[in-house]
Structure 1
Amino acid sequence: MGGDEEWRKTADTHKMKPEDVKAAGLEGSKRPPGQHPGEVLHQRSRLPFSYKTMAIGGLLITASIAYFTLYLKKKPEASARDVAKVTIGAAEPEDTRPRK
């Protein structure tokens, strides 16, 4: 008999009228609607990666965008190594001036 009454504990009553719930004897049903109750609008409670991994990834993406932006705007006589030095801030004045 216990197996027959188990469905009453998890009955989906959110679309039923209060009178229908009372008539079916489902007042004790506490299960919220949806496939995964307890989640808020299909949001995850945890992120897929750690904060450290995401921070390192963000820095790498930002550095690569900065490098390619400077590389596209470089003068024809500048080499890729000169652009890399400017990107990381290790360039000397002779690296940024035109060569003869």
Structure 2
Amino acid sequence: MGADTQKRSSGGVLHQRRNLPFSPMKMAIGGFLIAATIGYLTLYAKKKPEATARDVAKVSAGVSKPEDTHPRK
């Protein structure tokens, strides 16, 4: 019985915090940047040998044109 009263007196459920250590907006921006970096690095790792880093960035941003994605002569 003593253990039950100690758990209840702590006030928290599984020691969860009420406040987050950072603002939700900063965490969302940080998460987006991490996901974008992973996506860019994945595309860069799978790129064709003739593609440049600029070509990969254009494709990942969705602003590429057909001449950016075709092999150069």
Q: TM-score range by the shorter chain?
A: 0.7 to 0.9
1:74 shift after superposition: 0.4
Structure 2: which 5+ runs fail to align?
none
TM-score of the aligned structures, taking structure 2 as reference length: 0.86
| CA RMSD, Structure 1 to Structure 2 (Å) | 1.8
Residue of structure 2 equivalent to 1:50: 23
1:18-33 equivalent positions in 2, closer than 5 A: 32-33=5-6
Alignment of 1:1-100 (within 5 A): 15=2, 32-33=5-6, 37-100=10-73
Structure 1: gaps of 5 or more residues: 1-13, 16-31
Higher relative contact order (CA 8 A, sep 6+): 2
**What is the rounded CA distance, in whole Å, between the counterparts of 1:79 and 1:58 in structure 2?**
26
Percentage of pairs with the same residue: 63
- Kindly provide the amino acid, as one letter, of the partner of residue 60 in structure 1: L
Bigger helix share: 2
- Rg bigger for which structure? 1
Q: In structure 1, how many angstroms separate the alpha carbons of the residues matched to 2:67 and 2:26? A: 37
